[in-house]
Amino acid sequence: MKKRILSMFLAAAMVFSMTACSGDNKDNSSGKSDGDSITISVHPSGHGLPAYVAEQNGYYEEEGLNVETLVYIGAPPQMEAYQTGAWDIGTTGFGGIVLGVAQKDLKIIGLSIDDGALMGLWTKEDSPIVEAGYNEETGCYGTAKDWKDAEILYTQGTITDILLIKTLDKLGLTIDDVVRTNMDSSPAFTAFKSGSGDMVQANASFYFNAEEEGWVPATTGESQEIFLPCAITASETIIKERPEVVEKWVRAYMKGVQWIKDNPEEAAKMFVEFSEANGVATDEENALKFVNAQVIDIPSPEEQMEYFAEGENGTVLQDRLAEVMDIYIDMGNYTEEEKAALMEEDSYDSSFMEKMVEE
């Protein structure tokens, strides 16, 4: 069976220590650092790749940093480890933003990949939804009549809920107008391929698998303008006590981002190494698709500052995060208090990206 990229989304929550990254790594399980030593955390995903590139290409050494990297399979174990003081700086997804920033004392200091770029609900080419044609106004195939009572196979309580709710709202429907069958991604994909359901969730690696099957994306994160950023975060303590170390690490990470943009094929090979070193099966073909579709679009420092600029109710970034939080709040996943925490100015520090722009 062909290996699939990003299979960590199907794995049980667990943590890996990436010891292959640096022969100089010290035992830093307490999370305390001396001098220009630092402990960071990432996932074996697109937002962790620039950190791996920075390490492999010697960018940490160029900055005079001694970096220990902890690799987590998801946000919950990552943030539980943060609570114990295991790490100082980390990249994480939207769930980690809420768990770490809204519920703890982490600050967002930059942005990484957009998880909304590779998410979709797929249907087959001969589906009435596809035959009805694509509607630019609703950003999806089909009409309200075609979608009503359609069975959708997907994992409930995930980012796919956001995609479904936004699409149905544009069609004048609600979530009660469709049949939702709760399944994990892999069995849902298999069941749909065997003839079950009218649409299926296919995000991340399964996005490319669905393309290979010849299926059609009835609606996507891109068509619905869904922004699910992964963030670069740092503890309030390290920002206050050792800002120069944070600045060096951010500079090394963004060097990694630029290298990926300039060398996508080599970056795909590195992604395979990074993933497989941490228990995730990958192949270079899909890794390259992933890099080109998502990782190379990590905002440059100049582009990042646009997100920290003033928006309607806060910064542009805060406004976009609030949109997603509103949907999650309606679903009962998060609270108004957590949304309010993300709207606080003190939850962000754009100074490190600003310094990079000035360089």
Does any domain span residue 1? no
pLDDT > 60? residue 320: yes
Give the C-alpha separation, 300 to 255, whole Å.
10
Same domain, 209 and 295: no
**Using one digit for the tens of pLDDT, what is the confidence trace for 71-124?**
998 899 999 999 999 999 999 999 999 999 999 899 999 999 999 999 999 999
Same domain, 172 and 153: yes
Does any domain span residue 253? yes
- Tell which of 220, 253, 286 closes a domain: 220
Same domain, 112 and 125: no
Same domain, 44 and 130: no
Does any domain span residue 280? yes
Same domain, 135 and 68: no
3-state secondary structure of 70: strand
pLDDT > 60? residue 35: no
Give the C-alpha separation, 72 to 83, whole Å.
14
The number of domains in the chain is 2
pLDDT at 18: 39
**Using one digit for the tens of pLDDT, what is the confidence trace for 324-336?**
999 889 888 899 9
- Tell which of 220, 237, 264 closes a domain: 220
Same domain, 21 and 155: no
Does any domain span residue 110? yes
One-character DSSP codes across 271-337:
HHHHHHTTT----HHHHHHHHHHTGGGSPPHHHHHHHTSB-SSSBHHHHHHHHHHHHHHHHTSS-HH
Does any domain span residue 66? yes
CA distances from 129 to 55, 125, 133, 180, 191 (A): 47, 9, 7, 17, 19
Does any domain span residue 2? no
3-state secondary structure of 65: coil
**Using one digit for the tens of pLDDT, what is the confidence trace for 221-245?**
999 999 999 999 999 999 999 999 9
Question: The domain that contains 290 carries what CATH number?
Answer: 3.40.190.10
Does any domain span residue 331? yes
Range of the domain at 211: 120-220
Same domain, 242 and 347: yes
- Tell which of 198, 220, 242 closes a domain: 220
pLDDT > 90? residue 4: no
**Using one digit for the tens of pLDDT, what is the confidence trace for 159-203?**
899 999 999 999 999 999 999 999 988 899 999 999 999 999 998
Same domain, 45 and 158: no
Same domain, 277 and 347: yes
The count of C-alpha atoms lying within 13 angstroms of the C-alpha of 164, restricted to the half-sphere facing its C-beta, is: 31
Same domain, 235 and 352: yes
The model's pTM is 0.83
Reference 56, options 12, 18, 97; nearest CA is: 18
Same domain, 255 and 170: no
Does any domain span residue 235? yes
